[in-house]
Chain A
Amino acid sequence: MEYVLLNYVNEGAFAALTKEQQEQGVAAYVSYMEALTKAGVLKGKNRLERSSSATTVRMTNGKAQVLDGPYADSKEQLGGLFVIDVPDLDAAISWAARCPAATHGVVEVRPLGNIPVAV
């Protein structure tokens, strides 16, 4: 069963850290990914650019409404994600708890759905 771990983090916080703390922070993610790989559960990973770089698009009356900024303007923003393949929700939760983002932000655990195929 595949789950995506969505990392919601405070984007401003990283810049406010000392250089040493930043290095430590990055190292924690590197170790985490290594552990995921070693356990054979990592299926995918991505880091997102800052939410200030986001653009939202919505079709209204056949016309594209393009807006600057992310969809939800909250303090914590989606900053990255991991896709893991584990037996059940408890296993996914235990990986989410180890993710550095769970310490300095929030990790949302979502099962990946099946994509319907045409018959």
Chain B
Amino acid sequence: MTPLEGDAQARSVADAVARRSYGKLVAFLAARTQDVAAAEDALSEAFASALADWPRSGCPSNPEAWLLTVARRKAIDMHRARHRHEIAAEELQVMVEGLEAAATASEIPDERLAMMFACAHPAIDAAIRAPLMLQVVLGLDAKTIASAFLTSPATMGKRLVRAKDKIRQARIPFSVPEREELADRLEAVLDAIYAAFSEGWTCPGGTDVARRDLTEEAMFLAMLVTELLPQEPEALGLLALMLHAEARRGARRQEQGKYVPLAEQDPALWDAGMIDRAETLIERASTRGVIGRYQLEAALQSAHVARCRTGRANWAEVVQLYDALFAFSGSPVVAINRALAIAEMHGAEAALAVMPELSDDARLAEYQPYWAARAELLARNGAHEEARRAYEIAIGLEGDAAVRSFLQQRQSILTT
């Protein structure tokens, strides 16, 4: 083998291990050092060593174990250097023993789930939980995460550092919570995963690569949770919800990039395989007999799909699901969608009567779907002037050009 080929091979093996095992290795190191940032640094140094060593000595038979051995040594060195001035000898001893003992096990234990629980701990600011998980479990860099969450890389970097400091200093545990706490704590993990997924969806056309990738990464996290906690109905519900949304991605845009609302989509363009998987998950979740927000959201997606496929109106069922969902979240967003379903059953006037008011929640003033829904209902009710003004605000709040031109088109057909 020429040196060049050795290089390429080393790189491709390292890349493959990185993709498959990054989170596992970080979790292993962080759970024993309590220091996520140091675990990441140690691992990235281990990858650098691998790229220097493997082309010369050949790729090891167990690259994961090789990386872990090197990273473990680096982590201990770093810890020694950092805590030289502190009374930490005893702590260091415990850490070293933990790392050594676990390293002799034949297989590296998968502690990614425990790490996700640490990232979504109630003591961590809710807004940073999703970015933190994307970084520590999947190894995304601050720049990529920042662009997906529409913040500057410097700000995102600082907030990630702060969160990791909090985990270390406050000693947030790396453990899966006990049964009685699990449901609440899991909700925070699922919420963070869903937040990452939704950020990916704010570019529904999939033109922004960083954001489109984020939906895939979030789905990977959701699958990981369902693999590691196969009996949790809400985790199954979340994955089903994501699969349903993802299955229709292609149908949301015409070839020219024009936005297509659900009612006008061609069901033949949906990914039937993904929909089937979602339906199986919903069924599996329902056998557990504990309903929750994500299962209801998934059931709603499922109802929409059934209606569009068969052409049989099922609005009563949809409204019922929204009622149940509203009981969980009390969210005005749910109330808006519920009103739109009521419009299909009882007309626009009845729907307008149950729309949430700006006085209920001031945030609605900046929420595009509120104005778009209001405009739609007003237009159907013949209040064209009011509808025009509502469309105006909806258009002003929309960032996606395709949706904007869809709304402009709806506005233009109003008569004065």
8 Å CB contact of B86 from A87, A89, A111, A117: A117
Give the nearest-CB partner of A88 in chain B.
B173
Let me know if A116 is at the binding interface, CB within 8 A: yes
Tell me if B312 counts as interface (CB < 8 A to partner A). no
Residues of A near B172 (CB, < 8 A) are 88-90
A114 and B171 form a contact (CB under 8 A): no
**CB of B87 within 8 Å of the partner chain:** yes
Residues of A within 8 A of B88 (CB): 114
Contact A89 B84 (CB under 8 A): no
For B87, the chain A residues whose CB sits under 8 A away are: 114-115, 117
Shortest A29–chain B CB gap in Å is 25
Give CA–CA (A87, B123) in the complex, Å. 16
Is A30 interfacial (CB-CB < 8 Å)? Answer: no
Bound complex: CA A10 to CA B123 (Å): 24
A111 to B123, CA, bound (A): 13
Tell me how far the C-beta of B180 lies from the nearest C-beta in chain A, rounded to whole angstroms.
11
Q: Is there an interface contact between A88 and B86, defined as CB atoms closer than 8 Å?
A: no
CA–CA, A109 to B123, complex, Å?
A: 10
Least distance between B78 CB and chain A CB atoms (Å): 17
Distance of B319 from chain A, by nearest CB (Å): 39
- Given the complex, which residues of A lie within 8 Å of B84, measured CB to CB? 119
CB distance from A70 to the nearest CB of B (A): 25
User: Which size class do B's interface residues fall under?
Assistant: 10 to 19
Q: Is B179 an interface residue (CB 8 A)?
A: no
The A/B interface has a contact count, at CB < 8 Å, of: 35
Interface check A1, CB cutoff 8 A = yes
Given contacts A116-B85, A117-B86, contact A111 B170 (CB under 8 A): yes
Collect the chain A residues with CB atoms within 8 Å of residue B177's CB.
90
Interface contact B170-A116, CB-CB below 8 Å: no
Q: Interface digits, B78-90 against A, CB 8 Å rule (1 contact, 0 not)?
A: 0000011111100
Residues of B near A109 (CB, < 8 A) are: 170
Interface residues in B106-127 (C-beta closer than 8 Å to A): 121, 123
Residues from 137 to 183 in B contacting A, C-beta threshold 8 Å: 169-173, 175, 177
The answer to whether B85 touches A87 (Cβ under 8 A) is no
Q: Which residue of B lies closest to A118 (CB)?
A: B85
Shortest Cβ gap from B185 to chain A (Å): 10
A109 to B171, CA, bound (A): 12
Residues on A with C-beta less than 8 A from B169 are: 111, 113
Contacting pair B121 A89 (CB below 8 A): yes
Select A119's contact among B85, B123, B171, B175, beta carbons within 8 Å.
B85
Note all chain B residues with C-beta closer than 8 A to A1.
171
Please determine whether B171 and A111 come into contact, CB atoms closer than 8 angstroms.
Answer: yes
The listed residue with most A CB atoms (<10 A of its CB), out of B88, B169, B170, B173, is B170
Inter-chain contacts of A87 with B (CB < 8 A): 171, 173
Contact residues in A for B123 (Cβ distance below 8 Å): 89, 93
Which residues from 169 to 203 on chain B have a C-beta closer than 8 Å to any C-beta of chain A? 169-173, 175, 177
Given the complex, which residues of B lie within 8 Å of A113, measured CB to CB? Answer: 169
> Which chain A residues (81-98) contact chain B, with CB distance < 8 Å?
87-90, 93
Nearest A residue to B88 by beta-carbon distance? A114
Among B86, B121, B173, point to the contact of A114 (Cβ < 8 A): B86
> Chain B residues with Cβ under 8 A from A90's Cβ?
172-173, 175, 177
Instruction: Across the interface, name the chain A residue whose C-beta is closest to B178.
Output: A90
Please tell me if the beta carbons of A89 and B173 are within 8 angstroms of each other in the complex. yes
Q: Which of A1, A89, A114, A115 has the most CB of B within 10 A?
A: A89
B181 to chain A, nearest CB (A): 9
Ranked 9 nearest A-B pairs via Cβ: A88-B173, A114-B86, A116-B85, A88-B171, A89-B170, A89-B172, A1-B171, A90-B173, A111-B170
Which residues on A are within 8 Å of B, measured CB to CB?
1, 87-90, 93, 109, 111, 113-117, 119
Write 24 A-B pairs (CB below 8 A) sorted by A numbering.
Answer: A87-B171, A88-B171, A88-B172, A88-B173, A89-B123, A89-B170, A89-B171, A89-B172, A89-B173, A90-B173, A90-B175, A90-B177, A93-B123, A109-B170, A111-B171, A114-B83, A114-B86, A114-B87, A114-B88, A115-B86, A116-B85, A116-B86, A117-B87, A119-B84
Interface on B for A, CB 8 Å cutoff? 83-88, 121, 123, 169-173, 175, 177
Beyond A89-B170, A89-B173, A113-B169, 17 additional contacts (C-beta under 8 Å) are A1-B171, A87-B173, A88-B171, A88-B172, A89-B123, A89-B171, A89-B172, A90-B173, A111-B170, A114-B86, A114-B88, A115-B86, A116-B85, A117-B85, A117-B87, A119-B84, A119-B85
